[in-house]
Structure 1
């Protein structure tokens, strides 16, 4: 990733103060970074609520996009997503615009911050895929009472996030990576991450690679979190367990993050804008500060990053703490906390150590969309989704009659994933959304679009249908899963 170097040899960073408590946290971080001697310069730009109020639907100004395109590095405060105006979250807009495919969230026990896990020296990282999965946000109302969200997982997306996790582990001297999925249930989508992880892991023989089911991962994070080093997972799973891990070490006030892309990296705290505390000099800037430390390492400013992290550890060890840790009576304000860290620059704790870091090698990927190609492919059937208030024993015979004389025959009908026709004795409380699976009468044939559309027209003469899914076979392997109870 190329950085923009100023005339005086500094690396230029786009600085977005953000909303609510954002400007205070960002200003504290800027002061500390400048005091550390890091070779960084700033280009301040706007995004968030103030931009929404200007009538910009995305919440991101064109000049902000222009700056990020130039600098390739962003440090930002939390952005508010206003209710009642604007369209998408400005945070999501930035991540999508610049394809920051990986979200890295480290959590580490901090001195002086009491939690149920104090003394266990937790130090782990969640690496979350950041742009696909259910968070692609592709939703449809299928019937008036049934909603659908498409879970999109790509081999390219999986490979990018898996390689990022291994490369990040190496850069921090970590020795274990767990891949957490729900592949026991979602064998095609979550299973793709598992299969990709297992294919790539042998390329990193210096790192122990393990797969874990995501619900067991959550269980183990609460029971024995010190067993984990790096956890790589899909978007929604990562969103949930990274908040869980933040809770293990004192809350979101200590939760930094990096959004990493092939071209751009965005560094931000995990917490929100907390407008009710804005301007009161009470907020904990640690999450934004540690996001800034991650940014410095990304820029190759390792000495300044270590100096700041050491100063923070010394400050916390001295008992200089904000209200989120010790309450109002014993707390110092944001400015006093910042001053204390600056005063401790150059000092090191005797009891707490900063990791040794080295530059991270970002994976390089081809731009071609079709990363995976099949040598042989054919269509063996189609799932046609039908809306009806009929029960399965009425719908099944009617569809069989409609399909008579076509190239396809009805194999089964499922309701919310469970086979309901022909009956297998399941006590399913059906809704008006049926998946009707048709397969080729000639098992060796490759169905044409015309044959499938003929069937759709037949069904459409009597039923309302919402969408069609072809049943593909790639290199002899089925590209679809069976319903619960389907043979």
Structure 2
């Protein structure tokens, strides 16, 4: 075999054409990548509406999960959960199944796309934690009028997303990483991310660290978006500000993202399936094409990635054969003509340069149950959540009497996070859901004591249960001498 006949090995990638305009933008993207000589072999798989209709309740067939597990790479068009079928999001299914904890959303001003922020030099990345926070979806109706959603954030979850942000900053030669939290209010959950940001930053002296409160971050994104480089934040915060940031440079229709984890990586367009134009050949493939450029860089095909990106930049800048959402009113073309134009521009260089990229790899985390044992642990009390229509004063007197001959004293009662007993003089609208804090008269050391506190807790709860309906109990602990719980407003 001659040297010229030898071709470089190709990387196998699972292609998920998806729903609505998904198959059209996928076909266009693959046409461009093939024309550019991308070293990719495609393996097509199904997810979304058709899978739901076949009775796959997650929207992702086992064969698709197996394909991604084997290839460890996927390019995904928009998926939908049709009304009347399924109930779970196929997107969330794949994120959870493969623990795709890092959502990467680049936000860069593109040539030829005019917005109120054009000319500001916006070029940032939003790094969103993708599997924890309130998106864990742990919810309960506490009473018929009170719903609860548990916000779960973990030290390993915070550490790995912040390390991902710093690793990305290094790979793209960015200068700063800003941790955005609501740590001023949620000092334990969001505060954990702030503290972890400070800890990890010390290992990256060449990158400027920063912290910002998330609402101020949203404000500053509108006031001076060019000041940001990399923003890393929790799941719901990231969901919101990444869409805000995309709006600064043209909207979700051109926004790509990647979802990265230890076991797989999935690249996708952020926009929806646009069923109103599906099958009409009008769809704009820019978002999925941009996601495929991220995929190419992920597999270290940097030259091809830059070749495709430059062709896209030139196409947008010159304004020839743009799809209707980008072209002046009445002058848009279809998907095929736009795709042909990008292919025709392959090999040309744009006035807008591509960033410098290096191989970006996540730190691999051990496959074991994460656990950290404090040096000392004390059980200092419990919060018992009760349902009652009593007023706070009557409830407080009743609970004090119940606790009188127990190992506990009633410390206080709160309603929706505000102390209502002992009264503070404030005005609080009461609902039938009271958090009643009982403190041990003598805290129990769980480090060197044989007592677990369970008999004492059971005794109190049994007495409470004889008079009230209770929903759940939270243990109040002290780790290494520091309270591991927050106090209600007014306490």
TM-score, scaled relative to structure 1: 0.97
- SS at the partner of 1:276? coil
User: Does 2:291 correspond to 1:291?
Assistant: yes
Deviates more, 1:323-332 or 1:111-120: 323-332
Q: After superposition, give the CA deviation of every residue in 1:285-341 in whole Å (9 maximum; x if it has no partner).
A: 111000000001001111100000000000111113221223551112111111100
2:3 aligned residue: none
Which segments of 5 or more consecutive residues in structure 1 lack a partner in the other structure?
1-6
Pick which of 447-456 and 44-53 moved more: 447-456
Contact 2:377 2:445 in 1 (8 A): no
Aligned to 1:3: none
> Shift of the alpha carbon at 1:431?
0.6
Tell me whether 1:153 sits opposite 2:158 in the alignment.
Answer: no
Q: Secondary structure at the match of 1:153?
A: coil
| Partner-residue secondary structure (3-state), 2:326 | helix
Query: What corresponds to 1:52 in structure 2?
Result: 52
Aligned residue number for residue 272 of structure 1: 272
Query: Is residue 2:473 matched to residue 1:472?
Result: no
**Equivalent position of 1:336 in the other structure:** 337
Of 468, 487, 490, which aligns to 1:482?
487
Residue 368 of structure 1: how far off its partner (Å): 2.4
Deviations 1:182-204 (A, max 9, x none): 00000000000000010010101
Which residue of 1 is the match for residue 231 of structure 2? 231
Q: Which moved more, 1:14-23 or 1:373-382?
A: 373-382
> 1: CA distance between counterparts of 2:439 and 2:399?
13
| C-alpha distance in 2 between matches for 1:86 and 1:328 | 38
What do the CA deviations read for 1:85-111 (whole angstroms, capped 9, x no partner)?
A: 203100000100000000000011111
Question: Once the 2 structures are TM-superposed, how far is the Cα of residue 375 of structure 1 from its aligned partner?
Answer: 1.7
* Distance (Å, rounded) in 2 between the aligned partners of 1:333 and 1:261: 36
- Cα deviations across residues 55-103 of structure 1 (Å, max 9, x unaligned)? 1101111110110110000001000011222031000001000000000
Give the SS at the match of 1:324.
Answer: coil
Does the 8 Å contact 1:155/1:371 carry over to 2? no
* Larger mean Cα displacement after TM superposition, 59-68 or 438-447: 438-447
Between the aligned partners of 1:361 and 1:467, the Cα distance in structure 2 is 42
Q: Residue by residue, what CA displacement relative to the aligned partner does 1:234-254 show, whole Å, maximum 9, x if unpaired?
A: 000000000000100001111
Q: Does 1:409 align with 2:414?
A: no
Distance 1:324 1:42 in 2: 29
8 Å contact from structure 1 (residues 164, 362) kept in 2: yes
Q: Which moved more, 1:367-376 or 1:306-315?
A: 367-376
Q: Distance in 2 between matches of 1:454 and 1:289?
A: 63
Match of 1:316 in 2: 316
Three-state SS of the structure 1 residue aligned to 2:325 is: helix
1:155·1:372 contact (CA, 8 Å) conserved in 2? no
1:209 Cα deviation (Å)?
0.4
Corresponding residue of 2:453: 448
Q: Where does 1:30-429 land on structure 2 (aligned, <5 Å)?
A: 30-320=30-320, 321-349=322-350, 351-429=351-429
Distance 2:392 2:132 in 1: 34
Which residue pairs with 1:457 in the alignment? 462
Are 1:13 and 1:41, in contact at CA under 8 Å, matched by a contact in 2? yes
Q: Is the 8 A contact 1:156 1:371 kept in 2?
A: no
State the Cα RMSD in Å: 1.2
Q: Is the 8 A contact 1:13 1:43 kept in 2?
A: yes
Using the TM superposition, give the Cα deviation of residue 39 of structure 1 relative to its aligned residue in structure 2, in angstroms. 0.9
Secondary structure, aligned partner of 1:386 = strand
Deviation at 1:426, TM superposition (A): 1.2
Calculate the TM-score normalised by the size of structure 2: 0.96
Distance 1:197 1:371 in 2: 20
- Aligned counterparts of 1:285 and 1:449: Cα–Cα separation in 2: 60
Unmatched segments (≥5 aa) in structure 2 = 1-6, 447-451
Structure 1 residue 284, shift from structure 2 partner:
1.2
CA separation in 2, counterparts of 1:478 and 1:41? 55
Structure 1 residue 475 displacement after superposition: 1.0
Q: Return the alpha-carbon distance in structure 2 between the equivalents of residues 112 and 436 of structure 1.
A: 59
Q: Secondary structure at the match of 1:382?
A: strand
Size of the alignment, in residue pairs?
A: 479
Q: Relative to 1, partners in 2 of residues 1:90 and 1:275: Cα closer, same or farther, differing over 3 Å?
A: same
Structure 1 distance, partners of 2:436, 2:84, is 40
Residue 8 of structure 1 deviates from its aligned partner by 7.0
Q: Does the aligned pair in 1 maintain the 2:378–2:444 contact within 8 Å?
A: no
d(CA) in 2 for partners of 1:331, 1:372: 58
Shift of 1:407: 1.0
